[in-house]
């Protein structure tokens, strides 16, 4: 079964550094998402992306965050200047679309654990 | 903003017992999802509920949706240890695709 893949699985960075988290969504999916989960806590929505632009973003997704689909397969989340509180598990997800697959859940990757020191 | 509340947040139950997890959401929602998460793992989709009165069952788990009450339930029948995990409900508003999660219910099934 096709799956969403994320790299790296674990990223350690120093406060103030830029990080890019990478995701390869399922190939025929049209909607892409980033969520984060601080250890043992709630899964928080960051951003959704459709048709090469952001469709929704949460209050967490401030100017330090950006997303990009640089080619036909990758979907990236960039954090420009990391803070200690950015330490979390970041999940990428994709779905086929709202109309064509009304019954489809989001498919999640295995996550990237970001540790900011 | 759509808010999703689950209860209980922690549930410890014995094998063979039944229990229900509740999920309330605050605004009109097109879809309600249930996910399972094992420690350190990703989110695995269990159910997608689309309409009022929808009921879906998979093994010992059964999910239902009441859109008028803005309530979904996940019922566990005759629990077994393998069901130990964190269960999340998530709702998606009718007007966008911004899916919001509940806080999760950490289920522990004891022998």
pLDDT tens track for B47-97? 999 878 889 999 999 999 998 999 999 999 999 999 999 999 999 877 666
Distance of CA B65 to the CA centre of its chain: 10
A42-68 pLDDT, tens per residue?
899 999 999 899 998 999 999 999 999
Tell me the chain B residues in contact with residue A105 when contact means C-beta distances shorter than 8 Å. 33, 35, 45, 48
Is B42 in contact with A98 (Cβ distance < 8 A)? no
In sign, the C-alpha dihedral spanning A6, A104, B101, B103 is negative
Cβ A25 vs Cβ A48: under 8 Å: no
Residue A102 has pLDDT above 70, yes or no: no
d(CA A92, CA A23): 6
Look at residue A31 and tell me whether its pLDDT is greater than 60: yes
Token pair belonging to B59: 């093994």
Nearest CA in chain A to B33: A105
Contacts of B43 in chain A (CB under 8 A): 43, 91, 108
User: Which domains does chain B show, CATH number per domain?
Assistant: 4-110 (2.60.40.10)
pLDDT at B8: 96
The answer to whether residue A116 scores a pLDDT higher than 90 is: yes
From chain B residues 44-73, the ones with a CB under 8 A of any chain A CB are 44-45, 48, 50
pLDDT at res. B29: 75
Q: Which two tokens mark B75?
A: 């019922």
User: What is the per-residue pLDDT for B51?
Assistant: 79
Q: Which residues of B touch A107 (CB under 8 A)?
A: 45
Residues of chain B neighbouring A102 (CB-CB closer than 8 A): 50
Q: What is the pLDDT of residue B19?
A: 95
Closest by CA to A29, choosing from A9, A6, A49, is A49
Among A43, A48, A56, whose Cβ lies nearest the Cβ of B88?
A43
Domain residue extents for chain A = 5-116
Domain A5-116: give its CATH architecture: Sandwich (2.60)
Among A6, A36, A42, most B C-beta atoms within 10 A, so best to mutate, is A42
Residue (of B3, B2, B1, B16) closest to B110 by Cα position: B16
pLDDT number for residue A100 = 46
User: What CA–CA distance (Å, rounded) separates B109 from A7?
Assistant: 33
Q: How far apart are the first and last CA of chain B?
A: 41
Chain A residue whose CA is closest to B49? A103
Average pLDDT, chain B: 92
């Amino acid at each position: 079964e096709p799956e969403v893949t994320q790299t790296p699985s674990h990223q350690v960075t120093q406060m103030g550094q830029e990080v890019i988290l990478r995701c390869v969504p399922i190939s025929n999916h049209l909607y892409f998402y980033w969520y984060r989960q601080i250890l043992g806590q709630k899964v928080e929505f960051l951003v959704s992306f459709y048709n090469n632009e952001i469709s929704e973003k949460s209050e967490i997704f401030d100017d330090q965050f950006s997303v990009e689909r640089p080619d036909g397969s990758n979907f990236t989340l960039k954090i420009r200047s990391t803070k200690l509180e950015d330490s979390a598990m970041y999940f990428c997800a994709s779905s086929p679309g709202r109309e064509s697959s009304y019954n489809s859940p989001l498919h999640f990757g295995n996550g990237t654990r970001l540790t900011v020191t | 903003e759509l808010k999703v509340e689950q209860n209980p947040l922690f549930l410890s139950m014995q094998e063979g017992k039944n229990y229900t997890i509740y999920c309330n959401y605050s605004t009109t929602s097109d879809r309600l999802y249930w996910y399972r998460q094992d420690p350190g793992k990703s989110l695995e989709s269990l159910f997608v509920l689309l309409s009022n009165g929808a009921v879906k069952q998979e093994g010992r788990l059964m999910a239902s949706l009441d859109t008028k009450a803005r309530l979904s339930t996940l019922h566990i029948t005759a629990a077994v240890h393998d069901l130990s995990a964190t269960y999340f409900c998530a709702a998606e508003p009718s007007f966008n695709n911004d899916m919001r999660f509940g806080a999760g219910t950490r289920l522990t099934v004891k022998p």
